[in-house]
């Protein structure tokens, strides 16, 4: 049986990107040892987590800022406090500027099997626009070194849909990001989030998001190009060159497998309940130091909620959703209106039926949110 | 009887009828200044706001004239719009005289002329009243000329006043005294004209009547000659600001009668009341049933509100005998009511009352007239609802109602107005000068043409100076087709309409374009089509949106995604689903709103 996931949020970056709305802050001269100690204390408070954990994901933020010694202490401490199975997959997010042979060696020795590089682009102009600290050359070197270091999976994160990014430049990014040995790719479309520097720029009229038509074209182009290069889109934004290169951890989110989140703003899911931590590092730390769970909220999901989530999450993946399962598990049946809508989606080539399963086509994936919302209500 | 005067006031909207009525009531001391509420006769808010009077009210006043005698003045209020001309008739029949109010600045308008013609039919004595003489733009001399030329009244009998400023009100009252006293034999069998009625939750129907001949007293059994029903009089009296109970009413009197009638539908306005025993042999002449000529289906915005709408209509119909309604259903809009109205204003008044007094938001389908069909097998069929329009191959002939429109305009707009009439399929348009620079255009055109943007255009081309009035004259053969609107190849029944073949394409195109603008884009391309039978005559397209999926669903934060569902659920409530396409209420409104011009 599939185990649960463990997500750990490291809320520090050496520099906060202007498009990022995650719970992050500048590291400054902060002592990461203190952060690790607090995380371990939180893990103690969560020692009653019932499910065996078979994947650990170190995300952020920039977890690659953690010195190898702190990382070792962190992982050892987590294993001592939580039911982590021996063969658990360890994912690590790393920024290219933190990637050198020494760090790579240390990470591999610590058991990192899946390394995600926050490259975002391999075009200097785009990197400057995105406010990244590395340049294209550095990114290429980081990719090459990571591949050479012999991780099970090396993954690259890219962002597309930048202003005045044409297809040629985007194609060049994809090509540079996927040399042999890079078997996983996450391609996120640039989204301007409220409260970010980019959203301020939009307000001031200095930045314009591309329209949905253009977004749709970029989305389709991305999927076509990657398919031609041997990548399978196993989720809206995630591509794997071989089935065992898929992210075991991230798939848990889309398939409603339980996961525990540690660190500021981390979310957890038990299969029936969701709870989430204080987003501010200070509030999170204070709660834990006072021996309190650092939860900011918690909710219980009814059968209907779970079924609706299953649609929202399941339609992000090409295997789609089995309606029979929704009915047997949560007594959920789409409304008459939703069924009529479903047939229209099938006719329009957005969904396809496979027995009781509905599967989004590539065009369907691009509008999966509204399709799911239509079918869920 | 010598000291009774029964009179009404005829005026164009905004020429100051209600204000003049108020001043007359005030001058007769029927209400103390402190209690005075402007425009007391317009008891409903909506009338106050629109400046028109929908239900005629009446009031009895005492006036001591300059000759030292005391008179009893019965002021009978008349509605001021062509839709309500049957009500005007009943009111006029109850009077011996009328004040014809003309705005000192605006002059004579079409409606004044129309009502004057009706008044002439009943041999009413008329006194011209030139109101608003205080206005800087007032030109009483020019208006006198118009009174002479357009109305054919003696301009030298005209009374000058300003109801607003209270100038000349005594002169108006003295002029009323000079009107003829009622005649009618008090010893003859009773003949009373029912000219108005309203429903009182405690007393049932309250009738307003003018006793033409004979007498009636409490506890007497009475017979209604048209409905052939008998009742016993429970109470009667004069209508003052509060009812004044009496034992008896007699020839010449105007008053109220309560006789145990349960609903307004049990009586016919215009009916003649006589004694149950030894009653009159013939009813009063001139009875005409008020028949709806404009039809539209009303649907509640939310399907859950159907019951409320049903109750609201029922309540409204208690005091509006002219309103007809029956259940209607639409695949797109659910349950609603097919309603019949006396005209567009009536439709508008009903809609506003429903929304205001009963807190109802409504969708109204395109107004339709009643078409008369002869089928191939020789049978006749009346159709006012596109849903019941038969297969065109079974129809031998279709006839539609025609009106004679009277439009009064300054002469510089003649060309545009003639063109407007032509565009609206006028059969015959003639014009004549009423006075220097003022023209009356008479045009025979289909009533159905007036329902669709005609008033707006008239107002536009005449820059607001045109006035309009109409009467239905006859039915004429016409080439009417049913236009269907299809969204994603599914018919939207509520948007179907009956229209002349020549107008079908532009009308359909307009619907298609408005829908395309107001239906949000969806995940797939949606064709919007207008069709006659299987032939597409108009088309527009709503393109699909291409991308909406959030890029990152990361770190397990699902709560944000669920907001999507909440938004979707909230949005759904405001949508009507046709086939598998959600059409927002605003789209129906955008399409249907401007069809009926309601600003007249």
3-state secondary structure of B16: coil
Closest CA to B429 of B449, B445, B409: B445
Asked if A237 is an interface residue toward chain B (Cβ–Cβ < 8 A), one would say yes
CA distance to partner chain B, nearest, from residue A188 (Å): 5
Which of the pair, B204 or A114, is modelled with greater confidence?
Answer: A114
Closest CA to B111 of B467, B598, B466: B467
Asked if A7 is an interface residue toward chain B (Cβ–Cβ < 8 A), one would say yes
CA distance to partner chain A, nearest, from residue B487 (Å): 13
CA distance to partner chain B, nearest, from residue A289 (Å): 24
pLDDT of B274 reads 96
pLDDT of B52 reads 35
CB-CB contact of B249 with B275 (8 Å) = no
Asked if A247 is an interface residue toward chain B (Cβ–Cβ < 8 A), one would say no
- CB A344 to CB B550 under 8 A? no
For B564, the closest of A190, A366, A373 (CB atoms) is A373
**How far apart are alpha carbons B430 and B406 in whole angstroms?**
10
| Sheet of strand A259-262: strand arrangement | A232-235, A238-240, A182-189, A153-160, A112-120, A84-94, A53-60, A4-10, A259-262, A267-269, A273-277, A295-300
Give me B439's structure tokens: 């023209």
CB < 8 Å to B332, chain A? none
Give the mean model confidence (pLDDT) for residues A240-249: 96
3-state secondary structure of B211: strand
Asked if A361 is an interface residue toward chain B (Cβ–Cβ < 8 A), one would say no
CB-CB contact of B53 with B17 (8 Å) = yes
**Mapped to the 3 state alphabet, what secondary structure does B435-476 carry?**
ECCEEEEEEEEEHHHHCECHHHHHHHHCCCCCEEEEEEEEEE
pLDDT of B82 reads 54
pLDDT confidence bin for B54, thresholds 50/70/90: very low
Give the mean model confidence (pLDDT) for residues A197-216: 89
The topology under which CATH files domain B4-177 is: Rossmann fold (3.40.50)
Instruction: Identify whether B253 is preceded by a cis peptide bond (ω within 30 of 0).
Output: no
pLDDT of B350 reads 87
**Other Cβ atoms within 10 Å of B99 Cβ, number:** 25
Asked if A251 is an interface residue toward chain B (Cβ–Cβ < 8 A), one would say no
**How far apart are alpha carbons B211 and B33 in whole angstroms?**
32
CA A198 to chain CA centroid, nearest Å? 21
**Other Cβ atoms within 10 Å of A160 Cβ, number:** 25
**Mapped to the 3 state alphabet, what secondary structure does B148-189 carry?**
HHHHCCCHHHCEECECCCCECHHHHHHHHHCCCCCCCCCCCC
**Residue B580 Cα distances to A315, B494, B525, B588, angstroms:** 19, 16, 12, 16
Lowest model confidence (mean pLDDT) among A160-164, A212-216, B223-227, B594-598: B594-598
pLDDT confidence bin for A47, thresholds 50/70/90: very high
pLDDT confidence bin for B33, thresholds 50/70/90: low
pLDDT of A315-334, one tens digit each?
A: 999 999 999 999 999 999 99
Q: Which helix (H) or strand (E) segment is A339 a member of?
A: helix A336-347
**How far apart are alpha carbons B327 and B362 in whole angstroms?**
15
Q: CB-side exposure of B245: number of CA atoms within 13 Å?
A: 5
CB < 8 Å to A312, chain B? 558, 561-562, 564-565
- Residue whose token pair is 């097919």: B338
Asked if B473 is an interface residue toward chain A (Cβ–Cβ < 8 A), one would say no
For residue B475, is pLDDT > 80? yes
pLDDT of B50 reads 42
Give the mean model confidence (pLDDT) for residues A290-319: 95
pLDDT of B37 reads 53
Q: Which residues of chain A from 317 to 356 reach within 8 Å of chain B, CB to CB? A: 337, 340-341, 343-345, 347-348, 350
CA dihedral (B332, B335, B340, B345) in degrees, to 10, reads: -70
Asked if A165 is an interface residue toward chain B (Cβ–Cβ < 8 A), one would say no
Q: Looking at chain B, which residues constitute the CATH 3.30.70.870 domain(s)?
A: 294-364
CA distance to partner chain A, nearest, from residue B538 (Å): 23
Give the mean model confidence (pLDDT) for residues A120-144: 94
CA distance to partner chain A, nearest, from residue B557 (Å): 6
**Residue B498 Cα distances to A193, B329, B348, B380, angstroms:** 50, 18, 20, 18
DSSP B340-394: EESSHHHHHHHHHHHHHHS---EEEPPPB--EEEEETTS-EEEE-SGGGPPPGGG
Residue of B nearest to A193 (CA): B550
Give the mean model confidence (pLDDT) for residues B525-543: 95
Q: Looking at chain B, which residues constitute the CATH 2.40.30.10 domain(s)?
A: 191-275
For residue A335, is pLDDT > 70? yes
Cα R_g (chain A), whole angstroms: 21
| Sheet of strand A321-322: strand arrangement | A321-322, A357-360, A351-354
Asked if A374 is an interface residue toward chain B (Cβ–Cβ < 8 A), one would say yes
Indicate the average pLDDT of chain A: 94
Asked if B568 is an interface residue toward chain A (Cβ–Cβ < 8 A), one would say yes
Asked if B156 is an interface residue toward chain A (Cβ–Cβ < 8 A), one would say no
For residue B285, is pLDDT > 90? no
pLDDT confidence bin for B36, thresholds 50/70/90: low
**How far apart are alpha carbons A106 and B467 in whole angstroms?**
92
For residue B150, is pLDDT > 60? yes
Give me B434's structure tokens: 């009423």
Q: Phi/psi of residue B380, each to 5°?
A: -105, 145
pLDDT of A231 reads 98
**Other Cβ atoms within 10 Å of B429 Cβ, number:** 18
pLDDT of B339-351, one tens digit each?
A: 999 887 788 888 8
Q: Phi/psi of residue A123, each to 5°?
A: -125, 120
Determine whether B563 is exposed, middle or buried from the number of CB atoms within 10 Å of its CB (0-12, 13-18, 19+): exposed
For residue B598, is pLDDT > 60? no
- CB B561 to CB A341 under 8 A? no
For A371, the closest of B523, B550, B557 (CB atoms) is B523
For B547, the closest of A212, A343, A374 (CB atoms) is A212
| E strands, B228-368, in order | 229-232, 235-239, 243-246, 248-250, 254-258, 272-275, 294-300, 324-330, 334-341, 362-364
Give the mean model confidence (pLDDT) for residues B150-157: 86
pLDDT confidence bin for A233, thresholds 50/70/90: very high
pLDDT confidence bin for A311, thresholds 50/70/90: very high
- CB A337 to CB B580 under 8 A? yes
CA distance to partner chain B, nearest, from residue A317 (Å): 12
Beta bridge partners of A53: A4, A84
For B546, the closest of A5, A188, A215 (CB atoms) is A215
Q: Which helix (H) or strand (E) segment is A72 a member of?
A: helix A68-81
pLDDT of B83 reads 61
CB-CB contact of B116 with B60 (8 Å) = no
Give the mean model confidence (pLDDT) for residues B156-161: 92
ipTM > 0.90, yes or no? no
Most confident of A223-232, B240-249, B408-417: A223-232
In total, the C-beta contacts within 8 angstroms joining chain A to chain B are 135
For residue B146, is pLDDT > 90? no
pLDDT of A96 reads 96
Q: Looking at chain B, which residues constitute the CATH 3.40.50.300 domain(s)?
A: 4-177
**How far apart are alpha carbons A6 and A55 in whole angstroms?**
6
Pairing of strands A153-160, A182-189: parallel
For residue B462, is pLDDT > 50? yes
Q: Looking at chain B, which residues constitute the CATH 3.30.70.2570 domain(s)?
A: 481-592
Which of the pair, B497 or B285, is modelled with greater confidence?
Answer: B497
pLDDT of A269-278, one tens digit each?
A: 999 999 999 9
CB < 8 Å to B551, chain A? 188-191, 236-237
Instruction: Reply yes or no on domain B191-275 having CATH 2.40.30.10.
Output: yes
For A216, the closest of B524, B546, B561 (CB atoms) is B546
Pairing of strands A259-262, A4-10: parallel
Give the mean model confidence (pLDDT) for residues B505-518: 93
pLDDT confidence bin for A128, thresholds 50/70/90: very high
**How far apart are alpha carbons B360 and B378 in whole angstroms?**
43
CB < 8 Å to A236, chain B? 549, 551, 553
Pairing of strands A238-240, A182-189: antiparallel
Which of the pair, A39 or A163, is modelled with greater confidence?
Answer: A39
**How far apart are alpha carbons A259 and A257 in whole angstroms?**
7
Asked if B480 is an interface residue toward chain A (Cβ–Cβ < 8 A), one would say no
Give me B436's structure tokens: 């220097």
CB-CB contact of A287 with A294 (8 Å) = yes
Residue B219's contacts (CB-CB under 8 Å, 6 or more residues apart) are B232, B233, B234
Q: Which helix (H) or strand (E) segment is A336 a member of?
A: helix A336-347
CB-CB contact of B369 with B451 (8 Å) = yes
CA distance to partner chain B, nearest, from residue A56 (Å): 12
In chain B, the percentage of residues whose pLDDT exceeds 90 is 49
**Residue B231 Cα distances to A121, B186, B251, angstroms:** 92, 21, 20
For A253, the closest of B546, B556, B581 (CB atoms) is B556
Residue of A nearest to B561 (CA): A312
Residue B366's contacts (CB-CB under 8 Å, 6 or more residues apart) are B296, B451, B452, B495, B497, B592, B595, B596
Q: Which residues of chain B from 181 to 200 reach within 8 Å of chain A, CB to CB? A: none
**How far apart are alpha carbons A201 and A134 in whole angstroms?**
22
Residue B192's contacts (CB-CB under 8 Å, 6 or more residues apart) are B209, B210, B211, B212, B214, B216, B249, B257, B272, B273, B274
CB-CB contact of B542 with B522 (8 Å) = yes
- CB A191 to CB B524 under 8 A? no
CB < 8 Å to B562, chain A? 305, 308-309, 312
pLDDT of B600 reads 32
CA distance to partner chain B, nearest, from residue A299 (Å): 10
For residue B53, is pLDDT > 50? no
Which of the pair, B358 or A5, is modelled with greater confidence?
Answer: A5
Looking at domain B481-592, which CATH architecture does it have? Answer: 2-Layer Sandwich (3.30)
For residue B41, is pLDDT > 60? no
Most confident of B7-21, B29-43, B383-397: B383-397
The topology under which CATH files domain B371-478 is: Alpha-Beta Plaits (3.30.70)
pLDDT of B553 reads 67
pLDDT of B73-111, one tens digit each?
A: 999 977 655 566 666 777 888 999 999 999 999 888 776
- Most distant CA pair in chain A, distance: 60
pLDDT of A248 reads 93
The topology under which CATH files domain B294-364 is: Alpha-Beta Plaits (3.30.70)
Domains and CATH numbers, chain A: 4-253 (3.20.20.70), 303-376 (1.10.10.920)
Give me B290's structure tokens: 């008020």
Give the end-to-end CA distance of chain B in Å, rounded to a whole number.
40
For residue B203, is pLDDT > 90? no
């Amino acid at each position: 049986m599939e185990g649960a996931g463990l997500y750990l949020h490291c809320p520090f970056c050496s520099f906060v990107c202007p498009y990022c709305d995650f719970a992050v802050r500048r590291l400054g001269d902060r002592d990461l040892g203190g952060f690790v100690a607090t995380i371990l204390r939180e893990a103690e408070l969560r020692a009653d987590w019932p499910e065996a954990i078979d994947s650990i994901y170190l995300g952020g933020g920039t977890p690659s800022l953690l010195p190898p010694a702190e990382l070792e202490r962190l992982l050892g401490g987590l294993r001592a406090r939580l039911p982590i199975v021996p063969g658990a997959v360890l994912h690590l997010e790393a920024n290219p500027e933190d990637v050198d042979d020494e760090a790579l060696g240390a990470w591999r020795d610590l058991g990192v099997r899946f390394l995600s590089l926050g490259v975002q682009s391999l075009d200097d102009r785009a990197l400057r626009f995105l406010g990244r600290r590395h340049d294209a050359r550095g990114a290429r070197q980081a990719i090459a070194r990571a591949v050479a270091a012999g991780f099970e999976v090396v993954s690259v994160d890219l962002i597309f849909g930048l202003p005045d990014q044409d297809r040629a430049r985007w194609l060049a990014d994809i090509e540079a990001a996927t040399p042999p040995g890079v078997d996983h790719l996450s391609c996120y479309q640039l989204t301007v989030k409220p409260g970010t520097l980019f959203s301020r720029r939009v307000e001031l009229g200095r930045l314009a998001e591309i329209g949905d038509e253009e977004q749709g074209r970029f989305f389709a182009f991305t999927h076509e190009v990657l398919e031609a290069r041997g990548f399978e889109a196993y989720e809206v934004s995630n591509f794997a060159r071989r089935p065992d290169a898929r992210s075991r951890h991230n798939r848990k989110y889309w398939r409603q497998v339980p996961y525990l989140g540690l660190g500021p703003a981390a979310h957890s899911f038990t299969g029936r309940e969701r709870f989430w931590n204080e987003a501010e590092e200070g509030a999170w730390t204070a709660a834990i130091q006072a021996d309190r769970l650092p939860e900011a909220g918690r909710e219980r999901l009814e059968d209907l909620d779970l079924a609706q989530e299953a649609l929202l999450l399941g339609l992000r993946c090409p295997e789609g959703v089995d309606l029979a399962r929704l009915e047997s598990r949560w007594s959920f049946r789409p409304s008459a209106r939703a069924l009529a809508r479903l047939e229209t989606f099938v006719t329009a080539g957005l969904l396809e039926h496979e027995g009781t399963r509905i599967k989004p086509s590539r065009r369907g994936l691009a509008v999966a949110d509204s399709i799911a919302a239509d079918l869920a209500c | 009887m010598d000291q009774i005067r029964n009179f009404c006031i005829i005026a164009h909207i905004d020429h100051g009828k209600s204000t003049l009525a108020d001043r007359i009531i005030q001058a007769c001391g029927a209400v103390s200044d402190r209690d005075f509420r402007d425009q007391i006769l317009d008891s409903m808010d909506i009338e106050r706001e629109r400046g028109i009077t929908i239900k005629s009210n009446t009031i009895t006043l005492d006036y001591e004239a300059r000759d030292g005698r005391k008179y009893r003045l019965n002021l009978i209020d008349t509605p001021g719009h062509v839709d309500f001309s049957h009500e005007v008739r009943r009111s006029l029949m109850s009077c011996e005289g009328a004040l014809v109010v003309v705005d000192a600045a605006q002059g004579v308008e079409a409606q004044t002329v129309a009502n004057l013609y009706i008044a002439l039919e009943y041999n009413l004595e008329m006194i011209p009243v030139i109101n608003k003489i205080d206005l800087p733009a007032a030109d009483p001399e020019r208006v006198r000329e118009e009174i002479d030329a357009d109305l054919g009244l003696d301009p030298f009998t005209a009374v000058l006043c300003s109801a607003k400023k209270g100038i000349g009100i005594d002169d108006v009252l003295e002029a009323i005294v000079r009107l003829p006293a009622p005649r009618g034999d008090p010893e003859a069998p009773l003949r009373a004209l029912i000219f108005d009625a309203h429903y009182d939750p405690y007393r049932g129907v309250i009738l307003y009547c003018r006793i033409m001949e004979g007498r009636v007293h409490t506890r007497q059994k009475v017979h209604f000659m048209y409905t052939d029903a008998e009742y016993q009089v429970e109470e009667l009296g004069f209508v003052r600001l509060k009812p004044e109970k009496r034992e008896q009413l007699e020839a010449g009197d105007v008053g109220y009668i309560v006789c145990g009638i349960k609903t307004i539908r049990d009586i016919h306005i215009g009916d003649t009341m006589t004694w149950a025993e030894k009653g009159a042999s013939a009813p009063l002449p001139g009875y005409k049933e008020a028949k709806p000529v404009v039809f539209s289906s009303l649907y509640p915005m939310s399907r859950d509100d159907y019951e409320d709408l049903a109750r609201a209509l029922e309540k409204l119909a208690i005091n509006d005998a002219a309103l007809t309604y029956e259940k209607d259903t639409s695949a797109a809009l659910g349950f609603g009511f097919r309603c019949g109205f006396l005209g567009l204003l009536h439709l508008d008044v009903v809609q506003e009352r429903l929304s205001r007094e009963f807190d109802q938001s409504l969708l109204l389908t395109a107004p339709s007239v009643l078409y008369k069909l002869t089928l191939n097998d020789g049978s006749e069929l009346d159709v006012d609802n596109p849903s019941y329009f038969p297969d065109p191959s079974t129809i031998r002939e279709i006839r539609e109602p025609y009106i004679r429109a009277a439009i009064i305009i300054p002469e510089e707009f003649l060309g545009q107005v003639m063109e407007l009439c032509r565009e609206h399929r006028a059969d015959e348009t003639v014009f004549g000068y009423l006075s220097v620079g003022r023209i009356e255009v008479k045009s025979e055109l289909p009533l159905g043409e007036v329902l669709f943007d005609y008033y707006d255009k008239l107002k536009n081309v005449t820059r607001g100076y045109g006035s309009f009035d109409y009467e239905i004259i006859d039915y004429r053969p016409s080439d009417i087709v049913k236009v269907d609107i299809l969204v994603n190849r599914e018919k939207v029944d509520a948007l179907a309409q009956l229209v002349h073949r020549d107008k079908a394409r532009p009308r359909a195109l307009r619907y298609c374009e408005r829908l395309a603008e107001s239906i949000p884009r969806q995940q797939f391309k949606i064709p919007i089509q207008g069709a006659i039978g299987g032939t597409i005559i108009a088309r527009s397209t709503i393109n699909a949106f291409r991308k909406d999926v959030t890029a990152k669903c990361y770190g397990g934060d699902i709560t944000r995604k669920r907001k999507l569902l909440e938004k979707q659920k909230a949005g759904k409530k405001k949508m009507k689903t046709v086939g598998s396409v959600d059409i927002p209420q605003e789209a129906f409104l955008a399409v249907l709103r401007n069809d009926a011009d309601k600003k007249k």
